[in-house]
Structure 1
Amino acid sequence: MTTKIIARKNLENISAYVAGKPIEEVQRELGLERIIKLASNENPYGYSPLAKEAMLSEMEQTHFYPEGMAPALAAKLAEKLQVEKDHIIIGNGSDEIIRLLTKSYIEPNDEVIMPDVTFPRYETNTLIEGGTPVLVPLIDGIHDLQSMYNAITEKTKMIVICNPNNPTGTIVEKAKLTDFINKVPKHILLIMDEAYYEYVNDNEYLETIPFLNTNSNLVILRTFSKIYGLASLRIGYGIMHPSIIEELVKVKDAFNTNRLAQAAALASLDDDAFVDYCATENEKCRKYIENELTKMELEFYPSHANFLMIKLNQHGKEIFEGLLKQGIIIRSGHLLGYDQTIRVSIGSQPENEEFIKALQKLIG
């Protein structure tokens, strides 16, 4: 007989993160050879050839531990972003930095204000540390900044804004966000998650890095997983005041990012042409899907990222399962907080065309 060992009480109401179904899993389950995965906002164009060359070269050093703070990558990012090197911390994906922030700053009963619905790891990491998530509903898929500001109490330790927001893809109006950043009390950490930053092409999008000079509580998160196509290598970064980084380093794993990831990310920063190509193709393909959805009289949130959240007249799980049988993996909205929706990542044009045909077949 096995005796169950009781885990931390904070974990009682926390569920494991449900990622988009892997291609290999669907192939095993359905016996299909060809699968189109449009579920995890990955880059359909792969990654920079420069990154491949760098990884092949770095493999010769695999038997040595990597540098714990990835100084070469931090220095190159600092130069590219025109910030000081000590304002950069490299993470095992930007989601690790979210975890480091809650681990460093959140104590039991501290409150963290965040939109509802958004990337679920903000809430999960808050709960793990015994904090209280304060969920503020979106308005038409967009952050309600006024209500988020009104939610501030003496217990508020952190506020999180995802811009563009996942899963809706929407952005926050520039003037409203500027005002919000400037009026949030400086003793409250303000986290700006900009994982999809490179995809945005809109004058209403706010460049937040200049605010670091006057807002020492501001933390900006970005990643190499999306437009740079290095999702499996798990590497992202945060831009923030050095005093915050000093605290994060105390709880960071000694070697949190591996040699290949550091080398690939470093080389990727030299390939602006690849990034520009991916952004251009993404916008073109997103508009194609939007036009087809409009013809089908389906509504969707105005996305500025590499995915679309589509509104349906039925449960998203039904469409998810129907598409899966046709070898197309998307995300059902019931896993993301919106039952009658699906979220589809923007693929290559042939993939997008197959998705539209399959969707038309399902909804008639």
Structure 2
Amino acid sequence: MSCDLKALATRGVQGLHPYEAGKPVEELERELGISNIIKLASNENPLGPSAKAIEAVEAAMSEAARYPDSSGFRLKQALRRHYGLEQEQLTLGNGSNDVLELIARAFLNPDDEVVFSEYAFAVYPIVTQACGAKAVVAPAHEYGHNLQAMAEAITERTRLIFIANPNNPTGTALQRDELVAFLDAVPESVIVVLDEAYTEYVTDTDFPDGLELLPNYANLVVTRTFSKAWGVAGLRVGFAAACADITDLLNRVRQPFNVSLLALAAAEAVLDDTDYLQKSVALNTSGLKYLEQGLTALGLGFIPSYGNFITVDMARPALPIFEALLREGVIVRPLGGYQMPDHLRVSIGLPEENERFLRALKQVLAC
């Protein structure tokens, strides 16, 4: 073939590298010839899905030959009841990643600028570059968002700012006063995207609820997901909340039927399952404390986390440790792609999974 097909792609896409997700357990079991692998790599809910979500999906299967409700009316009504939001504030997505891309497509032109933090979620640079915009990466402070540096990075070309609170992959969090001061300083012409994928896990009373801040900032967009504490990552459903004008723009670029029939049913059902959410948060809180104590006993440092994971400083290149843990049947997440080559991110699992991770890590470090 004489034609360079890759050269036909847009400039931004040509320079992109695909997002690298972790391998499925089944594939690793085949590759390594072992069984009983545990996966602590993708920040999934170790409880599995809510019984109410499973029941709703099973009931919805009878209508699987039909397209889903493109407007997501029933789920939006459930979100209204749960969060006090109005339908004209809501945009549904195929996970919150989908919503982040919708925001970029709606607001970014080539050569616009997007500000986000060092060590922030990998999707931010991907959607920025795909739109041909310029990423402006503000230096982090102790692995978290440095809001002063981010404010100083704003120029007349800035269109979007991404903030993850809590942040993935570091687990750091911003407090309410500092976030409000930052929002007050951002020009109204700049859209601030507050990514709150892990907010349900936070028990700190000083932690801000972005949805409560929406009435005060017309340029604020808050994104949430059902993939973490709500336990339906495999079904892919999330949402954005914003003022009606922003929501209207997002729905202009949103694909019809972007959330499946089963995802809509599961998300609606799990919002009413307060017992499940409480169990998820309690399990995460105790598991996080257990891992902190275990890592300290091993002489390892870690970044204090507000999410459902903990990022461990191995004080040496972490990739060989990651690979050794794989051979022990434990999958965690290396962070070389985030320019953190000495760190591993470990999702909080069930008690027996957390124990097995620490036991395997101790064995690997002793070799």
- Could you tell me the TM-score, scaled by structure 2's length? 0.97
The answer to whether 1:80 aligns with 2:77 is no
Alignment of 1:4 onto 2:4: yes
Residue 178 (structure 1) shift: 1.2
Q: Distance in 2 between matches of 1:204 and 1:168?
A: 19
Superimposed CA distance per residue, residues 8-42 of structure 1 (whole angstroms, 9 cap, x where no aligned partner): 22222210001122112201211112110000000
Measure the CA separation in 1 of the matches of 2:314 and 2:136.
Answer: 28
Structure 2 unpaired stretches of 5+: none
Are 2:89 and 2:242, in contact at CA under 8 Å, matched by a contact in 1? yes
* Distance in 2, Cα, partners of 1:278 & 1:225: 12
Which of residues 333, 349, 356 in structure 2 aligns to 1:354? Answer: 356
Whole-angstrom distance in 2 between the partners of 1:69 and 1:125: 24
Q: How far apart, in 2, do the equivalents of 1:295 and 1:335 lie?
A: 28
* Alpha-carbon distance in 2 for matches of 1:184, 1:83: 24
Aligned to 1:261: 263
Structure 1 partner of 2:91: 89
1:294-344: CA deviation from partner (whole Å, max 9, x where unpaired) = 111111001011000000121111111000001111011212320101000
Where do 1:284-303 residues align within 5 Å? Answer: 284-303=286-305
Cα distance in 1, alignment partners of residues 134 and 83 from structure 2? 34
State the 1:137 CA deviation: 1.7
| Aligned counterpart for 2:101 among listed residues 99, 102, 105 | 99
Which of 27, 30, 41 in structure 1 is aligned with 2:29?
A: 27
Partner of 2:110: 108
CA deviation string 1:92-139 (max 9, x = no partner): 000001100111110011000001111111111010111001001211
**SS of 2:303 mapped into structure 1:** coil
8 A contact 2:119–2:144 mirrored in 1: no
After superposition, where does 1:1-364 map in structure 2 within 5 Å? 1=1, 3-5=3-5, 6=7, 7-364=9-366
Aligned equivalents of 2:96, 2:138: Cα separation in 1: 23
1:47 Cα offset (Å): 1.1
Is contact 1:21–1:39 with CA below 8 Å preserved after alignment?
no
Q: Is the CA contact (8 Å cut-off) linking 1:173 and 1:204 kept in structure 2?
A: yes
The whole-number CA distance in structure 2 between the counterparts of 1:322 and 1:11 is 34
Give the C-alpha shift of residue 2 in structure 1. 6.3
1:196 and 1:227 in contact (8 A); partners too = yes
Distance, in Å, in 1 between the alignment partners of 2:134 and 2:11 is 14
Name segments (4+ residues, structure 1) moved above 6 Å: none
Q: Percent identity?
A: 38
What is the CA–CA distance in structure 2 between the aligned matches of 1:260 and 1:173, rounded to whole Å?
36
| TM-score, reference length from structure 1 | 0.98
> In the TM superposition, what is the alpha-carbon distance from 1:173 to its structure 2 partner?
2.3
Asked if structure 1 preserves the Cα contact closer than 8 Å seen for 2:64 and 2:261, the reply is yes
What letter matches 2:168 in structure 1? N
> How far 1:249 moved relative to its partner?
1.3
Q: What is the distance in 2 between the residues matched to 1:3 and 1:135?
A: 35
Q: Name the SS for the 2:252 alignment partner.
A: helix
SS of corresponding position for 1:300: strand
Task: Please give the alpha-carbon distance, in whole angstroms, between the structure 1 residues aligned to 2:308 and 2:253.
Answer: 32
Aligned length: 364
What letter corresponds to residue 156 of structure 1 in structure 2? T
Q: Which amino acid aligns with 1:293?
A: L
**What is the alpha-carbon distance in structure 1 between the residues aligned to residue 2 and residue 34 of structure 2?**
39
Q: Distance in 1 between matches of 2:328 and 2:22?
A: 16
- Cα distance per residue 1:257-290 (max 9 Å; x no partner): 1100000000001100000001001110110000
Partners in 2 of 1:186 and 1:47 — Cα distance?
40
In the alignment, residue 191 of structure 1 is paired with which amino acid?
V
CA distance in 1, matches of 2:44, 2:231: 7
How many Å separate the matches in 2 of 1:321 and 1:137? 30
Q: Deviations over 1:215-263 (max 9, x none)?
A: 1100000000011111110100111011111111111111101100000
